[in-house]
Structure 1
Amino acid sequence: MVTRNPRGQQKSNQAETLKREIKRAGRDALKIAEREGVVAGPPPEVPDDVPLSAAQEAWLEARRQAELYRKARARLDGESAALDDERRALGDERERVAEADARAKAALHDLATERAALDEARTRREDAERELAAERARLDRRERALNDQASEVEQGRLDAEAGFLEQEREHLRRLREQRGHMLGELEAQRKQLYADLDGHRQELDEQRRRRVAEIDRMRAEAEAELAERRAQVEARVTELKELERQVRAGAENLDDDRAYEREKAQLTVAATLKRLELDRERLQQEYEVVLQRARELEQRIFERDEALRNTGYAAPEALHQRVIHLTAENEQLRQRIASMPGTADRELLEQTLRDHEQCQVVRGRLEFAIAKLRSENNSYVTANAELEELREHRDALQHSVNVHQQMLSDKRAELDDLLSNAHATRPFPGLDELDANAELQTELPVDDTPPDLAKLVEYIQQRILADRTHRRGNTKLAYRDRDIRCLLGGLAMSRLHLLQGISGIGKTTFPKAFAASIGAAYEVIEVQAGWRDRQDLVGHLNAFERRYYETAFTKAIYQAACAAHRNRPFFLILDEMNLAHPEQYFADILSGLENVGAPLRLQLSTHAIQPKAELLVIDKGVHLEVPKNVWFFGTSNQDETTVQFADKTYDRANVIELPTTPPELAERKVEARQPVSHKALMSSFGKAWKDHRATQDAVVRFLRTELASRLADDFGIGWGPRLEQQIRDFAPVVVAAGGDIGEATDHILATRVLRRLQGRYNLRAEKLQDLEKLIEERWPQLGKEGRVVTSPDATKALLDRLIEEKS
């Protein structure tokens, strides 16, 4: 019966695998050597009888050499790529140098052109001087002709004395008049020619001086630029030459390194193959020795088997007892021989000794066989332990598979539940709750009578003063009538308002108390510093769950369109609006505010979803329309945790700077009134626009004629049609609410025009002082036609603060 050794079979399989890998590595090495141009002989054949340990060592050595070669090859490829990059950079630099030379040549060509134009102007001047000399000669000839004519006249006079005195006297008078007239004309022509000549000469001289100065300046600049560029080019050429030298040296070094690496790889492969061949020979010799030893052992085993056969296959212990017994018998025999010496006894004793020696040999063989059997037994025990370990590993893997199958089953069940719930859940649960709210769907009574804006300001101020809901302790809420008028005018001008000022002065409380005083609704949204896009503000659609996750902002806009709020103003207050960038998360609203006349909508999804909430609009997706009764208020602090508003946000907003100290007001009792409707408020704004049209024209005209050119020239500040339209919406409402044209202009100038001066580093205090003086001088121009004009306190305060910063 043949007994299989699993451990020996496993080692045999590993040896065969390693032999195959060594042969494949030899073939791969030959391919790489051929590709790289390295001459290498074929790898020696791996003998089939290579022991496992030698094959493992050879395989590890081959892998190490292959890894070294791959690293050398990667380094060589990296250096080649770097060299190619340097060459490309050198080519780009050469192109830039060529472009600089071309620009320098173009500048020299322009200078030559200018010089030719100057020479042409000089030639024209010389031609003009020659024409002037010719004209002067002609005048001299004309003067001589007149003198000759005068001589002839004098001669005629003498002739007249001979008989034609009276007749020629008249002729002489006429000739004298003609001569005087011609002399006057000639003198006038001469003066005119001289004047034209002088003017032309001065103009030519001035043109020549300017042109010469310009050419000299251009030549100096061109020469300086050319010298600088030449120096840069020369420095760059020197640097490029040095770089090229380094590149060449690097290329030579790289070639040397490459040759060295190839030679090293070749020598390494040859040495490895030689070492493998020597190992093969050594292993062959060891194999022969082991084979000889195995034959000897087989012979000894055969002899042992013969001895066992001779002894009847007795056990080693029995043989040992027999040896002891024989030894005792020998001892007795020796005693007997000693007592009975003789030839027979001697022969018997010799035979006994030979038997004893033979027993010793048999004993040694049996002990060797016992040791071998014990070794085989240990191998069987080790194999059995490995088998048990494999069984335990199999059981652990089976347990892991069962656990993962159970988890997969649970996840599938959870997925089925989610899918079933997703199909069963309405996509807009938050908005559906608002539709189901009976209070929101009940219309509240409002007053549609357009209020008098001046009386409304007084009413709001007193209602806020008496309000206890928004107070902090016993401190009364007090706001200036100017700030209330500014807020009213801002409602007419824009749907976005920014309230600024130090912390704790009531920026958030102001719109809340204002809304409560007129019966409007409001909602406060806490802006988070981590907001980055529109989803943080309006929510997002989970397509997997088929559900839209509404935010407080989305629900507030939806509430504004419900029956309880749609007929009255609704203020949506973004507290700490500049904790994040409004231009990112508020971008849809900012863009919508620009499209005047078009409905302002928020897109909730790009495709239609049913069933939808009642007030949503299906139009190439699902949209939430922002009602016209909604105004947005943003409060902002200026510290290290906030960001600056961009110009696009300021340009669309009404900015209100609240004072650091509230006014001292006396509380008066006012009668309560019904909430002011949105329709009534807009009607009052429309009446103000109609009654005070001259006010809006006066403010726009003042900014255009008195300040526009100075602001543009000194500070680069301008404005477009948007600001002028906002002025036309804002100023009449402020005047109708009890203010005047100066107050409206001061607010617009301080918060919308001169606001752009804040944060600039190139301002000079002298320019700001000149601007402040100009505004004070021109401000009375607003008071024409008997209008009351308030002084520009806000504008002066802003300029004084800027002047102090720049002084």
Structure 2
Amino acid sequence: MMASVSQIAPLVGESVPGWSEDTVKGFVTKLPEGDRSPFLTFVDDFARLGARAREVHDEVKAKETSLEDGRAALQADREGLVVERASMDEARSRFDADALKLATERDEVSRLRNELVGAKQELALREAEVRGGLVLEREASLKVLQEQILALERQRDQLPSEVSRRRQELLEEARREAAHVLEAAQEQAASLEQKETELALQDVGLKRRENKIRVEEEVLRTRQRNLQEDARQHAKDLLEEKETEIARHVREIERLRKVVSGQQSELDELDALRQVTGDDPEKLLHDVESLRAHNKELDRKLQEMRSSQSEGDAKELREQRDALQRSLDAAKGELFGLRQQEEQWKLSVMERENAETMRVVLEKHKALLGSAVQELRAQVDDLIDQGKEATAFPELTRMDKELALRIPTVPAPALSALVGDLQARIAHAEEGKQLHFSKEVLQLFVGGLAMSRLHIFQGISGTGKTSLATAFCAAIGATCTVVPVQAGWRDRADLIGHYNAFEKRYYEKDTLQALYRAQTEAQGDMLHVVLLDEMNLSRPEQYFAEFLSAMEVSQAKRLITLMESRPASGAPALLVDGRQIRLPANLWFIGTANHDETTNAFADKTHDRAFVLELPKHGPSAERIARPSDRVTWSFDSLMHLFDEARRKHATHVKKLLSALDSCRLTKILNDSFGLGWGNRLEQQMVRFMPVVLECGGTEALALDHMLATRMFRDGKVTGRHDKRADDLRVVEDALNAFWRDAKLGDTPTSCLTAIEADIQRLERGG
């Protein structure tokens, strides 16, 4: 019991000044023996209550500290968000309001704690009254105290749960608000990044448009320089212009004749005037000069007379001078009139002479124009006659004559040995360096030859996209036509050429010549490649659209229309109806592609019809490959025969694998969650592609992994989407691995998994 007294004494000492542990113990020893036991029981209960109150107090302090720490952490996060995004001020204000609410709740807890302390103080005062000798009121006080203690215990018991509940609510509310703030921050950050991306794309688009406009202007200027105008219309217009000019000159001659006639009349009048006056202007001018000299002499004499004679003599002289001056003025007026007549006469003579000269010049010019018009008519007639006799396709017609003897070819080696032979031949295809491509890359490439007539080689600069195509052609004796794609290509005329109606001639570009050459008797059994260098500088869906459509139909219907009507004469022998060219089976289009701000992304229309090969970066190989001793030209027919045999050999196995793929969990997830299916085109491509890869020594895992990676697990399909989360991709990853295990494919789907992992990292970074 004394232990309980020792426990409660410090509490009383805190509440009642002057009370110590000894005071409390002395008070207990002075109580009557019968009252001591209940009081000590009360003291023990009170000690436990005090200990519990102290624990509650400590818990409240700990919770307050935790809340303060949480508030400080939230404040720090909020300040970090303010630093990162100035636009988060509004969210910070809301968070401050919530923090104020949290402080209010904390004040409420503090108030409850203060009430508890007040209750303890009141209890201590009541105990003091008991210790002061108020024995009569002890039982009532004890009863009241017990009731208060019970109430306090109930309040105490409720207080932890209430504090815990309230703390949990505040924490949940704070977490929700923090999550909301973070989510808003992420959304705003994503919005800002999206806007920055859009601005960057707009900037890139503007630059592309500027570049495209400059290129188009250059193309237009080039075309304007190269295109010739319609000679017949030009000759007609020139003839009309010259005839109009001749008529104008004739009218000018008539006008000048009238002017000459008028001037002749004026000359006649001037001659009549001369006859009337009896003098000519020169004589009158001489008389005026004589009078001026005489006048000067008189002025001199007048001055002399002024000095020697009287006033009367001076007056007489002045009168004489005035008379002479009047005579001089009259002579000047007459001279001025004569000078005007002289000027008019001179002008009339000059105009008459000029008119006569102009008449002579115009007559000679008219004669020259007549001769030039006759020569021009003769030249136009010659051009028209030559156009009627010439062929519209000079290069294709030349091929009919020069490529008539078949070039010898050799059968391609069996597919089991083909890749090794091809690897050795490619290694030494270019003089001065050894090219090394792995067998896996060549196995996929040969499988692609069987799958599609359109190939797309992708990869960073220096991975050998162009070298693989050119070295392959050099290794097997195929014809390779390199066509650099230009920015601004819009239609098939940029690729194969166009027809000039005036010249009645088709401008046959390299691609058109390659298509025709592949069908000639000389090269019909050879492989041909048209290498579209930088294929995506312009959109293939525009300039290559007719070829993409032709690849979807049977071989007999693969026709490209060159002209609307058949030329009058001279159509090449291999054109269908003289105006359509067939897309030959022994020709492949191989396009190289880079991906930067100057290029365009491939649309699904192009991507789904092509065999896409991502070439990895590789360093120089230490392996030395022996140079083949002979140069060969593989037979196209023999290669197609090998592809057909491989397809028949592995058809059942490939269809069984495709059936398992179609019914697996991966297919269901792709269909339900991503809206993707395999489609008939993909299944047909797999049936042609996978058997050849297997026969070339490749594995099922290699072939299937490549097809899935280039068809399904590429940007815009499974990966690269903003409407999916990282967890969605992990579900796909698990399903893919499960199918690989169930199908017992052995190797892992490296390309697919790499694409999925890269996209998961992008999504986790908030990309």
Band the TM-score falls in, shorter-chain normalisation: 0.5 to 0.7
Pair 1:737-2:696 in alignment: yes
Post-superposition CA distance 1:273-330 (Å, at most 9, x none): xxxxxxxxxxxxxxxxxxxxxxxxxxxxxxxx9xxxxxxxx96688889999999999
Q: 1:453 offset after TM fit, Å?
A: 2.2
Q: What pairs with 1:333-348 in structure 2 (closer than 5 Å)?
A: none
State the AA in 2 paired with 1:772.
Answer: E
Which of these residues, 428, 441, 444, is aligned with residue 408 of structure 2? 444
Name 1:136's counterpart in structure 2: none
- Secondary structure of 1:508 counterpart: helix
Q: Percent identity?
A: 35
Offset, 1:628: 1.4
Q: 1:667 aligns with which of 593, 614, 625?
A: 625
Unaligned runs of 5+ in 2: 1-276, 278-285
CA contact (8 A) 1:688 1:736 kept: yes
- C-alpha contact 1:581 1:643 (8 A) present in aligned 2: yes
**Structure 1 runs not aligned, ≥5 long:** 1-304, 306-313
Label 1:781 to 1:403 Cα distance change in 2 as closer, same or farther (>3 A): farther
Q: Which residues of 2 match residues 426-465 of structure 1 at below 5 A? A: 426-437=391-402, 441-447=405-411, 452-465=414-427
Give the structure 2 partner of residue 691 of structure 1: 649
Alignment of 1:578-617 (within 5 A): 578-612=536-570, 614-617=572-575
- Match of 2:384? 419
**How far is the alpha carbon of 1:433 from its aligned partner?**
2.4
Task: Quote the offset at 1:798 in angstroms.
Answer: 1.9
Contact 2:458 2:594 in 1 (8 A): yes
Cα deviation, 1:64-95, whole Å, max 9, x if unaligned, reads xxxxxxxxxxxxxxxxxxxxxxxxxxxxxxxx
Aligned equivalent of 1:649:
606
**Mapping of residues 147-166 of structure 1, within 5 Å:** none
Deviations 1:216-268 (A, max 9, x none): xxxxxxxxxxxxxxxxxxxxxxxxxxxxxxxxxxxxxxxxxxxxxxxxxxxxx
**Aligned partner of 1:779 among 720, 733, 740:** 740
1:423, CA displacement in angstroms? 3.0
Deviations 1:159-210 (Å, cap 9, x if unpaired)?
Answer: xxxxxxxxxxxxxxxxxxxxxxxxxxxxxxxxxxxxxxxxxxxxxxxxxxxx
Query: C-alpha displacement at 1:555, in angstroms?
Result: 1.6
Distance 1:647 1:731 in 2: 22
Trace 1:192-271 onto structure 2 (pairs within 5 A): none
State the alpha-carbon separation in 2 of the partners of residues 682 and 532 from structure 1.
34
Matching residue of 1:562: 520
1:584 partner amino acid: Q
- 1:677 aligned to 616, 627, 635, which one? 635
Could you say what secondary structure the match of 2:464 adopts? Answer: coil
Residue 805 of structure 1: CA displacement? 3.5
Aligned to 1:119: none
Q: In the alignment, what sits opposite 1:767?
A: 728
Once residues 495 and 782 of structure 1 are traced to their aligned partners in structure 2, the CA distance between those partners, rounded to angstroms, is: 30
Q: 1:460 to 1:389 in 2, by over 3 A?
A: same
Cα distance in 1 for partners of 2:485, 2:367 equals: 49
Distance 2:668 2:327 in 1: 129
Supply the distance in 1 between the matched residues of 2:435 and 2:288 (Cα, whole angstroms).
117
Partner of 1:637: 594
TM-score scaled by structure 1? 0.51
Give me the whole-angstrom Cα distance separating, in 2, the residues matched to 1:574 and 1:381: 79
What is the rounded CA distance, in whole Å, between the counterparts of 1:688 and 1:772 in structure 2? 31
Q: CA offset at residue 398 of structure 1?
A: 8.0
Amino acid at match of 1:540: H
3-state SS of paired residue (2:511): helix
CA distance in structure 1 between the partners assigned to 2:506 and 2:396 by the alignment: 10
Is the contact between residue 696 and residue 732 of structure 1 (CA under 8 Å) also seen in structure 2? no
2:535 alignment counterpart = 577
Shift of 1:455: 2.5
Match of 2:664 among 699, 705, 724: 705
Q: 1:763 to 1:328 in 2, by over 3 A?
A: closer
Letter in 1 for 2:401: A
Partner SS for 2:743: helix
Equivalence map 1:354-503=2 (5 Å): 361-378=326-343, 411-437=376-402, 441-447=405-411, 452-465=414-427, 468-470=428-430, 473-474=432-433, 476-503=434-461
Partner of 2:162: none
Secondary structure of 1:634's counterpart equals strand
Are 1:791 and 2:756 matched, yes or no?
no
C-alpha distance 329-499 of structure 1, shift in aligned 2 (>3 A): closer
Q: CA deviation at 1:498?
A: 0.8
Amino acid corresponding to residue 422 of structure 1 in structure 2: G
Inter-partner Cα distance in structure 2 for 1:592 and 1:750: 26
C-alpha distance after superposition, 1:26-70 (max 9, x if no partner)? xxxxxxxxxxxxxxxxxxxxxxxxxxxxxxxxxxxxxxxxxxxxx
Conserved? CA contact 1:560–1:630, under 8 Å? yes
Partner of 2:90: none
User: 1:697 touches 1:728 (CA, 8 Å); kept in 2?
Assistant: no
Task: From the superposition, tell whether residues 723 and 324 of structure 1 become closer, same or farther in structure 2 (CA, over 3 Å).
Answer: closer
Q: Is residue 693–residue 699 contact of structure 2 (8 Å, CA) maintained in 1? A: yes
**Amino acid in structure 2 at the alignment position of 1:577:** M
Query: SS where residue 754 of structure 1 aligns?
Result: coil
Q: Offset of 1:428 from its aligned partner?
A: 2.0
3-state SS in 1 of match to 2:551? helix
Q: Distance in 1 between matches of 2:488 and 2:683?
A: 36
Q: How far 1:591 sits from its partner (Å)? A: 1.4
The answer (yes or no) to whether the contact 1:696–1:731 under 8 Å persists in 2 is: no
Equivalent pairs counted in the alignment come to: 477
Task: Describe the shift of the 1:352–1:738 C-alpha distance in structure 2 as closer, same or farther (beyond 3 A).
Answer: closer
Contact 2:519 2:574 in 1 (8 A): no
* One-letter code aligned to 2:438: R
1:593 partner letter: M
Of 681, 687, 701, the residue aligned with 1:722 is 681
